[in-house]
């Protein structure tokens, strides 16, 4: 299938993507949006099962479609000698390999970093795991909720007598996807300065712990322990909190600095409130106050004031939001198999590179022929591999 030419700051970088589900695929989608040629390399015996998971969109898993934009798909039997040979041929043209298997799986398949160095000495491997390589928990299974628990993030979330499960995958993305992008970019820079590749270990628990930075500075250096909502940024103070409005919708007040709180009180013509910035009793006062107007009425009321008052949008409001539209935060592509698909766009804006047009997430093995031909495989050889069931 013909693909538009890649653009962006990572144009010319080739990445083999062996990841599945969410953390790795979102990272490689971000890298693909930055211009990298990302080859989603799947074993036909066990492809990315997000392809088949519900909910589905025209027969394809929505999770898969949401995090695999702008990649090419190569699907082979990695358990076979022919499949491994294809992997090594692709690796010779690649800069980075990203995997999300538990430690030992890549060695079992026979495509681990030590083996890869013999084929391409300066290759970069980035491995995303829950608990990292070389740790007592290396082979322990886990998901986002387990990593959040181990990293202490869940202990901050909720009410004093109740832990509330977050609505999004924090460790998967903030502890997995984003650090993986940083790992790739820093390893590329290192390679350019040293000429050497390396194996980078991205553990989602480790990369989630820095989310506690403003807590742990005190916890590590004193006898302080925090209860849920005790921290000033976790709901303990009235001027930095969330309030329900008359229409049942919600609003966030972030008047953390005195100047913002003062502006808030002056807007409401309540000068006597200025001295009560941290007064716990003000929570109940503000709860009653915000119930006097609908959310959008409050937003309009404070529109011209510099006080950090923001309406909390529901997800079905995001696409039509003026700010997000202006920032071009949603994109639509068309695929011949499943039609039009809307998605969240690349969030980082580059003004020194052409915009990367991208394309919809590929079907399994959609780019097999094009990739193999680019590696020098003849039509006859490709037909033979198909006949043997080594590629789809």
Catalytic center residues: 172
**Torsion angle of alpha carbons 98, 60, 167, 175, nearest 10°?**
0
Distances in Å between the Cα of 25 and the Cα atoms of 2, 57, 71, 105 are 22, 18, 10, 18
Residue 310's beta-bridge partner residues? 252
Q: Residue 360: CB partners within 8 Å, gap ≥ 6? A: 65, 69, 333, 334, 335, 338, 341
Burial of 276 (0-12, 13-18, 19+ CB in 10 A): middle
Burial of 319 (0-12, 13-18, 19+ CB in 10 A): exposed
**Run of H or E including 384:** helix 379-388
Residue 250's beta-bridge partner residues? 244
Which 3 state secondary structure label does DSSP give 106? helix
Rounded Cα distance between 242 and 261, Å, is 15
**16, 75 in Cβ contact below 8 A?**
no
Q: Give the strand pairing for 124-129 and 199-203.
A: parallel
The string of DSSP letters for 166-220 reads -SS-HHHIIIIIHHHHHHHHHHHHHHHHHS---EEEEEHHHHHGGGGHHHHHHHH
End-to-end CA distance of the chain: 15
């Amino acid at each position: 299938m013909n693909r538009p030419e890649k653009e962006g700051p990572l144009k010319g970088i080739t990445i083999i993507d062996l990841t599945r589900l969410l953390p790795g695929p979102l990272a490689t989608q971000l890298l693909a949006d930055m211009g990298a040629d990302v080859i989603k390399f799947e074993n036909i015996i066990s492809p990315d099962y997000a392809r088949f998971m519900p909910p589905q969109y025209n027969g394809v898993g929505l999770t898969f479609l949401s995090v695999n934009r702008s990649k090419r798909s190569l699907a082979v039997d990695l358990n076979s000698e022919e499949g491994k040979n294809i992997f090594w041929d692709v690796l010779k043209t690649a800069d980075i390999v990203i995997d999300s298997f538990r430690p030992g799986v890549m060695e079992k398949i026979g495509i681990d970093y030590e083996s890869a160095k013999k084929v391409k000495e300066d290759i970069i491997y980035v491995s995303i795991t829950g608990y990292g390589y070389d740790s007592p928990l290396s082979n322990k299974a886990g998901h986002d909720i387990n990593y959040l628990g181990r990293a202490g993030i869940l202990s901050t979330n909720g009410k004093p007598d109740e832990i509330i499960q977050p609505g999004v995958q924090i460790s998967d993305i903030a502890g997995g996807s984003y650090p993986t992008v940083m790992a790739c970019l820093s390893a590329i820079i290192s390679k350019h300065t040293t000429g050497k590749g390396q194996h980078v270990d991205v553990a989602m628990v480790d990369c989630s712990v820095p989310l506690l930075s403003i807590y742990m500075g005190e916890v590590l250096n004193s006898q302080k322990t925090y209860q849920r909502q005790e921290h000033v940024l976790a709901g303990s103070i009235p001027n930095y909190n969330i309030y329900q409005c008359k229409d049942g919708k919600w609003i966030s007040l972030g008047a953390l600095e005195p100047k913002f709180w003062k502006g808030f009180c002056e807007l409401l013509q309540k000068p006597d409130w200025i001295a009560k910035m941290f007064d716990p009793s003000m929570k109940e006062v503000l709860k009653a106050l915000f119930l006097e107007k609908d959310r959008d009425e409050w937003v309009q009321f404070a529109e011209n004031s510099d006080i950090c008052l923001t309406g909390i949008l529901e997800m079905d409001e995001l696409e039509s939001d003026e700010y997000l539209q202006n920032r071009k935060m949603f994109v639509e592509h068309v695929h011949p198999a499943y039609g039009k698909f809307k998605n969240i766009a690349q969030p980082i804006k580059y003004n020194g590179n052409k915009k990367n047009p991208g394309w919809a997430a590929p079907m399994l093995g959609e780019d097999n022929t094009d990739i193999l031909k680019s590696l020098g495989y003849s039509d006859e050889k490709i037909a033979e591999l198909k006949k043997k069931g080594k590629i789809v």
